[in-house]
Amino acid sequence: MDFDFQKEARKGYFKYFSIWFLIVFVLLIATAAAGIRHYRIMQAPRANTAAPSERVYDEANLLTDEEEQSLRDYIAEKEAKYHIDFVVWTFDEPLSDKSSLSDSEWNRLIMNKADDFWDQRQYGYNKGFEGDGSLLADCRYPGQRGEWLSTSGSVYEALSSAEVDSILYDVDEYYDSNPYKAYKAYIDGVCRKMGGGVPGFYYLIALVAAALFTWVYYSSHAKKNAAANTVAVKQYVVGGKPANNTGRDNLLHKNVTKRIIQTSSSGGRSGGGGGGHISSGGAHHGGGGHRH
Amino acid sequence: MFYKCANCGGNVVYNPEKKGMFCPYCDSPDSEQRTEGDKDEMVLCPNCGGELVYDEYTSAFRCAYCDTGLILTPRIDGAYRPKKMIPFQMGKEMCKKALRERFKKNLFAPDDFLSDVRLDGMSGNYVPYWLYEYQTHCDFQGQGRKIRTWVSGNTEYTETSVYDVSRSMDIHFDKIPVDASIAMPNDVMDLVEPFDYKQCVDFDPKFLSGFRAEFYNFSAEEEENRANQKMKASAEKILKESYAGYSSITTTSQHVDIREQHSEYALLPVWHYDYSYNGQDYPFYINGQNGKIVGEAPLSKKKALAYSLTAFGICYALLALVPLLVSFL
């Protein structure tokens, strides 16, 4: 019987990739199962009915009625999609009676105020205590101006201090010029960080990375494997070394040069940001603020 | 001439694995009986009477009809008698194993590249070589620089010392091999080296039985230039090693003088495997003593495409699925 090279080659191919085929298959099944579970969760109705329906508290009167309504509609749309609460609260009352506040005092006061506002109204998409969502508190009192982003539940879990800071920079861009856009930037920023899936550009990067990997893979296996010259320098020298080997190394002259080493000093910058903490109501919150 | 088995009349050949003469028909060791054929150029096989076809320089080969290992006596006698030889230390099976080991990572090689069917076609060849011996005197004159740098406080010091360097040595080169075969490419034969001359023995025609062999296609004088170049390159490297401690060196003069030279004719063992794929030949040469392989593996575009695309698919699937799974959890 003739030896079937093609059949053997096919067997070799499947044997070579068998582990990887198995891993991809298991991953595919796990992803499909997780996707179905995720879809079901997203289809589930809101569990927390204790929180008020209002999401926009414009006590500092920064928004027009139309802007307020538009923001409410936008929040409703995002809440339905991401299953997290969004609350915007502006106020122009002082955080403290003290005439001047240090940055750390300002941070502590606005953080407590925002957390209490959230906890007392029992916000959170899934539950009234440590529920999923975030609040943007915007203090417009002269000398104490600035915003604080308070996070809770899944938003607290998902957002790092750096990510909170990044969202607040988006808010800062419109803070003075257009508060409506600033609050939308807060909502968009949180939505972006909360994912809602993997961003589209990631798949492009993955495509490029896979192509690079394939090139390396191809190159390493397509090597011609040519032979190298393995003849030693003294391969054919009788006894492995020269005879009557004499040498002379006479010092003719010597000189020394010197050079001064230039040194430079460099400074650094450090950044800050809010972190995890427990509010007066006993709930876990995260977040951060930018004082203006 | 050929070797006949005293027990069964079959053809006795040299077997590298058994390190001796062996009859493959009745498994008898050392049962050979030298059987002379035509004293002049052989035209008909002395065993089967079949017509023989061989090349101008062939001295041993197998009959195309009865596969008997034949040796052309006039081509191994007199001026054509090699002084020394290294008998094959690796048989065909060992060579197959060495080739498979060497190219096992060449995933994209064609399916039948290392198959028994193809590898059975490889042939063992005794390649004619001239082995050159040189008594040389080498000397070198030059100026060497040693540079030393150190730091003290915020100052960097650089000390440059200049030396007058001279070296003188006698180097005795022995058995520098240069192949004397038109059929064997020179660059490939240089890569097949080195051979271990400890296994070098006086010529004995028995070792040719069952293998192909040639007598020299060029005289020792014609090949001398190649040997000279090899010797000089080696001598210059040895000189260079002797002044290796310098940061830089300027050569004033360098001489490699030959005081005495000799050459001797020898046969060295090389296996040859020719693989053809898509109209292209891929020759492989294997040192019959140590198994060193010279040759480049062929590439099947179809196989390379299939494996690379699969690797791409798997990589992309992993990169795409893992973050998607994490985002769902």
Residues of B with CB below 8 A from A239's CB? Answer: 172
B106 token code pair: 């060449």
Q: Which residue of B has its CA nearest to A31?
A: B325
How far are the Cα atoms of A6, B23, B110 from residue B277, in angstroms, in the given order? 15, 35, 8
Looking at the fold, whether B283 and B320 belong to one and the same domain comes out as no
Whether B294 sits inside 8 A of A263 (CB atoms) is: no
CB-based contact B152:B233 (threshold 8 Å): no
Q: Tell me which residue of B190, B181, B185 sits closest to B266, measured CA to CA.
A: B181
Show contacts of A220-225: CB within 8 Å, 24+ apart.
A221/B105, A221/B106, A221/B107, A221/B108, A221/B304, A221/B307, A222/B108, A222/B299, A222/B304, A223/B106, A224/B296, A224/B297, A225/B102, A225/B103, A225/B105, A225/B106, A225/B296, A225/B297
Q: Say which residue, B180 or A198, is predicted with more confidence.
A: B180
> What is the DSSP-derived secondary structure letter of residue B178?
E
Q: Mean pLDDT over residues A197-212, rounded?
A: 87
Instruction: Report how many domains make up chain B.
Output: 2
Would you state the pLDDT for residue A271?
32
Residues of B with CB below 8 A from A10's CB? Answer: none
Q: Which residue of A has its CA nearest to B108?
A: A222
Residues of B with CB below 8 A from A34's CB? Answer: 325, 328-329
Q: Which residue of B has its CA nearest to A154?
A: B329
Whether B310 sits inside 8 A of A17 (CB atoms) is: yes
Domain with B212, as residue range(s), is 127-298
User: Is B27 among the domain residues?
Assistant: no
Looking at the fold, whether B233 and B139 belong to one and the same domain comes out as yes
Which parts of chain B have pLDDT scores under 50? none
Q: Say which residue, A188 or A272, is predicted with more confidence.
A: A188
User: Is B329 among the domain residues?
Assistant: yes
Residues of B with CB below 8 A from A198's CB? Answer: 323-324, 327
User: Is B17 among the domain residues?
Assistant: no
Looking at the fold, whether B321 and B206 belong to one and the same domain comes out as no
Looking at the fold, whether B234 and B259 belong to one and the same domain comes out as yes
Looking at the fold, whether B310 and B294 belong to one and the same domain comes out as no
How many C-beta atoms lie closer than 10 Å to residue A258's C-beta?
10
- For residue A265, pLDDT over 60 is answered with no
DSSP one-letter string for B270-329: EEEEEEEETTEEEEEEEETTT--EE------HHHHHHHHHHHHHHHHHHHHHHHHHHHH-
Range 78-137 of B in CB contact (< 8 A) with A: 102-103, 105-108, 111-112, 115, 117
Would you state the pLDDT for residue A3?
59
User: Is B86 among the domain residues?
Assistant: no
Q: Which residue has the tokens 């109501």?
A: A281
Q: Mean pLDDT over residues A172-179, rounded?
A: 93
Distance from CA of A19 to the nearest CA of B (A): 11
Residues of B with CB below 8 A from A211's CB? Answer: 312
Looking at the fold, whether B306 and B248 belong to one and the same domain comes out as no
Chain-wide mean pLDDT for chain A?
87
User: Is B218 among the domain residues?
Assistant: yes
Looking at the fold, whether B165 and B246 belong to one and the same domain comes out as yes
Complex-level ipTM:
0.82
A159 token code pair: 């957002």
Q: Which residue of A has its CA nearest to B171?
A: A242
Looking at the fold, whether B248 and B149 belong to one and the same domain comes out as yes
3-state secondary structure of B246: coil
Interface probe for B, chosen from A19, A31, A39 (most Cβ of B below 10 Å), is A31
Would you state the pLDDT for residue A274?
45
Size of interface A-B (CB pairs under 8 A): 207
Looking at the fold, whether B266 and B312 belong to one and the same domain comes out as no
How far are the Cα atoms of B49, B174, B220, B245 from residue B132, in angstroms, in the given order? 41, 6, 9, 32
A208 token code pair: 């490029």
Q: Which residue has the tokens 């040639």?
A: B214
Range 159-198 of A in CB contact (< 8 A) with B: 195, 197-198
- For residue A2, pLDDT over 60 is answered with no
Looking at the fold, whether B253 and B321 belong to one and the same domain comes out as no
Looking at the fold, whether B266 and B277 belong to one and the same domain comes out as yes
User: Is B77 among the domain residues?
Assistant: no
β-sheet bridge partners, residue B62: B69
User: Is B104 among the domain residues?
Assistant: no
CB-based contact A185:A170 (threshold 8 Å): yes
β-sheet bridge partners, residue A288: A149
Residues of A with CB below 8 A from B159's CB? Answer: 254-256
Looking at the fold, whether B307 and B176 belong to one and the same domain comes out as no
Whether A238 sits inside 8 A of B174 (CB atoms) is: yes
Of A9, A13, A246, which is closest to B168 when you measure between CB atoms? A246
> What is d(CA A124, CA A115) in angstroms, rounded to the nearest whole number?
12
- Of the pLDDT bands very low, low, confident and very high (cuts 50, 70, 90), residue A47 is confident
> What is d(CA A192, CA A84) in angstroms, rounded to the nearest whole number?
13
Would you state the pLDDT for residue A266?
40
Would you state the pLDDT for residue A251?
94
Distance from CA of B177 to the nearest CA of A (A): 9
CB-based contact B292:B192 (threshold 8 Å): yes
Residue A46 in contact with partner chain B when CB distance is under 8 A: no
User: Is B271 among the domain residues?
Assistant: yes
Lowest-pLDDT choice from A2-6, A37-41, A182-186, B289-293 = A2-6
Residue B138 in contact with partner chain A when CB distance is under 8 A: yes
Residue spans per domain, chain A: 17-46, 51-198+275-291
- Of the pLDDT bands very low, low, confident and very high (cuts 50, 70, 90), residue A197 is low
- For residue A114, pLDDT over 50 is answered with yes
- For residue A270, pLDDT over 70 is answered with no
Lowest-pLDDT choice from A161-165, A196-200, A265-269, B267-271 = A265-269
CB-based contact B129:A234 (threshold 8 Å): no
The correct CATH number of A51-198+275-291 out of 3.10.310.50, 3.40.350.10, 2.60.40.10, 2.40.30.110 is 3.10.310.50
